[in-house]
C-alpha cells in the first residue's frame, strides 16, 4: 500500500519535469525571448538563403550533391542552438576565471596555424576531423572576454593611461599582428574595431582611441600607397569595371578580369534583384558566375532573389538583434556582464557592416563572412555559443529588474 502511494506521489513530479525544463527558457526565468526570437528568425532565413545560394554550386562541385553545404550547415546549426541554450543556463560569472586561459589558447592556436598547410597562400585554418577550425574566430571571443574581465576590474581607473589604455592595446596589437600575418586583413580590422568599441564603452578616453585609429590609418596608407600592399584589391575597389575590361597583368599573372570577376558578378546580382527581386531560388549569378556564392558574397544572391525589400528586412533584423543585445548589456547586473553583452553583439553588428560594404564594393574585398548566413561550421557554432552568453547575461539582468 505504501509503495503504491509512493509511486502515485512521484508520478506527477515526473510529468512536470519537461515543463520545468521548458520553464527555464521563459521570460519568468529571465530568458530574453525577444533576443532569442530575433536570432532564430535570422538563423532560419540564413539557412534558407544558404540552400538557395549553394545548391547549384554544390551540384557542380560535389558530384551532383545539391545538398552538400546545407546538410552540413544544418548539423552545425542544431549543435550551435543546443550549445547556446545550455550556455544560457550557466552563470556567466564563471567566465571571469577563463578570460586569461582563453586568451592564451587563442594565441597558441594563432601560432599553430602558421604550421598548417596553406590554402590559397593563406594560413587561416587548422584541419580537424569533420571541419576546419579558424583560430581568428576564437581570437574575437578571447578579446571580448578578456576586455570585459579587465574593464570590470579597472572600471574606476579606465580613464588612466596606464590602466585604461596600455594593457588593452598591448593585447590588442599582439593579437591583431598574429591575425594579420596569416594574412587575414578583414579579421585584423574586425578584432581591432571590437577592441576599440569595448574600450570606448568601458571608459577609455576618446582622444587615445582616436590617436590609435589615426596611427592605424597612417599604417594602412603607407602599406597600400607606399609599399604597394594589395594594389589589385584597391584598383578593383576604385573602378571594378575598368579593371575587369583591362589587359593589365597583376601579381601571380592574374588578369584584370580574374581579380575583378567576383566583385563585378556581385554587383550584377545586386542590380538584377531590383526592388522586389527575382524570387527565392531564381538567381542566375549563383550558377557558376559568382564564385562560391555560399560564402562571403551570399548577400549578393539574397539581394538578387529577394530584392531591395528582402535585403532591408534582413538588415533591420540584424539591427534589432544588436539593439536588443545592447539593451541586455545596459540592464546587466554588473560591469562584466554589461561588457560581455555589448562586446558580443558589437561583433555581430560590425561584421554585418563590413560584409555588406564588401559585397556592395563600398570597401575593398577583404574576405569577411555574413553572420548566420555564410557557410562555415566552426564559425556558426562559435557565434551561437556566444549568443548563449548574452542570454546568460539576460537572466541576471531580469533577476535584478525583478528585485527592483
- 7-26 in b/e form (b: 16+ CB < 10 A) is eeeeeeeeeeeeeeeeeebe
Q: Are residues 28 and 395 in contact, defined by beta-carbon separation less than 8 angstroms?
A: no
Quick one: cell of 295?
560564402
CA distance 179 to 187: 7
**What torsion, rounded to 10 degrees, do the Cα atoms 359, 362, 363, 365 define?**
20
Quick one: cell of 330?
545596459
Q: What is the pLDDT along the chain (404 residues), one digit of tens a residue?
A: 444 444 544 445 554 467 677 777 777 667 899 999 999 999 999 999 999 999 999 998 888 889 999 999 999 999 999 999 999 999 999 999 999 999 999 999 999 999 988 877 788 888 887 778 889 989 999 999 999 999 999 888 999 988 899 999 999 999 999 998 888 888 888 999 999 999 999 999 999 999 888 887 877 777 666 665 677 888 888 889 888 888 777 777 778 888 899 999 999 999 999 999 999 999 999 998 999 999 999 999 999 999 999 999 999 999 999 999 999 999 998 999 999 999 999 999 999 999 999 999 998 888 789 999 999 888 899 999 999 999 999 988 854 444 44
CA-based torsion, 280, 284, 287, 288: positive or negative: negative
CA distance 143 to 123: 20
Q: What is the pTM of this model?
A: 0.90
Give, in order, the Cα–Cα distances in Å from 386 to each of 17, 25, 39, 92, 287.
Answer: 27, 17, 12, 11, 34
Name the nearest CA neighbour of 325 among 27, 29, 36, 30.
36
Quick one: cell of 17?
519535469
Spans of all domains in the chain: 52-89+234-404, 94-229
Amino acid at each position: 500500500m505504501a509503495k503504491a502511494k509512493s509511486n502515485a506521489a512521484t508520478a506527477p513530479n515526473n510529468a512536470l519535469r519537461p515543463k520545468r525544463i521548458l520553464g527555464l527558457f521563459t521570460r519568468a526565468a529571465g530568458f530574453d525571448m525577444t533576443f532569442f526570437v530575433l536570432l532564430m528568425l535570422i538563423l532560419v532565413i540564413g539557412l534558407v538563403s544558404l540552400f538557395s545560394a549553394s545548391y547549384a554550386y554544390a551540384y557542380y562541385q560535389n558530384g551532383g550533391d545539391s545538398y552538400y553545404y546545407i546538410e552540413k550547415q544544418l548539423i552545425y546549426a542544431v549543435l550551435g542552438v543546443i550549445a547556446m541554450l545550455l550556455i544560457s543556463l550557466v552563470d556567466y560569472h564563471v567566465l571571469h576565471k577563463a578570460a586569461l586561459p582563453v586568451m592564451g589558447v587563442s594565441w597558441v592556436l594563432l601560432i599553430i596555424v602558421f604550421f598548417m598547410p596553406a590554402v590559397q597562400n593563406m594560413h587561416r585554418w587548422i584541419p580537424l576531423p569533420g571541419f576546419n577550425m579558424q583560430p581568428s574566430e576564437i581570437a574575437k571571443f578571447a578579446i571580448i572576454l578578456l576586455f570585459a574581465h579587465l574593464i570590470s576590474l579597472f572600471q574606476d581607473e579606465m580613464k588612466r593611461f596606464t590602466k585604461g589604455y596600455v594593457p588593452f592595446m598591448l593585447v590588442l596589437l599582439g593579437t591583431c599582428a598574429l591575425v594579420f600575418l596569416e594574412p587575414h586583413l578583414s579579421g585584423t580590422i574586425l578584432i581591432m574595431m571590437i577592441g576599440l568599441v569595448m574600450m570606448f564603452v568601458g571608459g577609455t578616453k576618446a582622444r587615445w582611441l582616436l590617436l590609435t585609429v589615426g596611427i592605424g590609418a597612417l599604417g594602412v596608407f603607407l602599406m597600400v600607397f607606399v609599399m604597394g600592399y594589395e594594389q589589385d584589391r584597391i584598383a578593383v575597389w576604385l573602378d571594378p569595371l575598368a579593371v575587369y575590361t583591362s589587359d593589365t597583368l597583376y601579381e601571380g599573372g592574374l588578369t584584370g578580369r580574374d581579380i575583378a570577376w567576383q566583385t563585378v558578378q556581385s554587383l550584377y546580382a545586386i542590380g538584377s534583384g531590383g526592388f522586389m527581386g527575382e524570387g527565392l531560388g531564381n538567381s542566375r549569378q549563383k550558377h557558376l558566375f559568382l564564385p562560391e556564392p555560399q560564402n562571403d558574397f551570399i548577400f549578393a544572391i539574397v539581394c538578387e532573389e529577394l530584392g531591395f525589400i528582402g535585403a532591408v528586412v534582413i538588415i533591420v533584423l540584424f539591427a534589432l538583434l544588436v539593439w536588443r543585445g545592447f539593451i541586455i548589456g545596459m540592464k546587466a547586473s554588473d560591469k562584466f556582464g554589461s561588457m560581455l553583452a555589448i562586446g558580443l553583439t558589437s561583433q555581430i553588428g560590425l561584421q554585418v557592416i563590413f560584409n555588406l560594404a564588401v559585397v556592395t564594393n563600398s570597401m575593398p574585398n577583404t574576405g569577411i563572412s555574413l553572420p548566420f548566413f555564410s557557410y562555415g561550421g566552426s564559425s556558426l557554432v562559435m557565434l551561437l555559443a556566444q549568443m548563449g552568453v548574452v542570454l546568460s547575461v539576460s537572466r541576471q539582468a531580469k533577476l535584478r529588474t525583478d528585485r527592483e
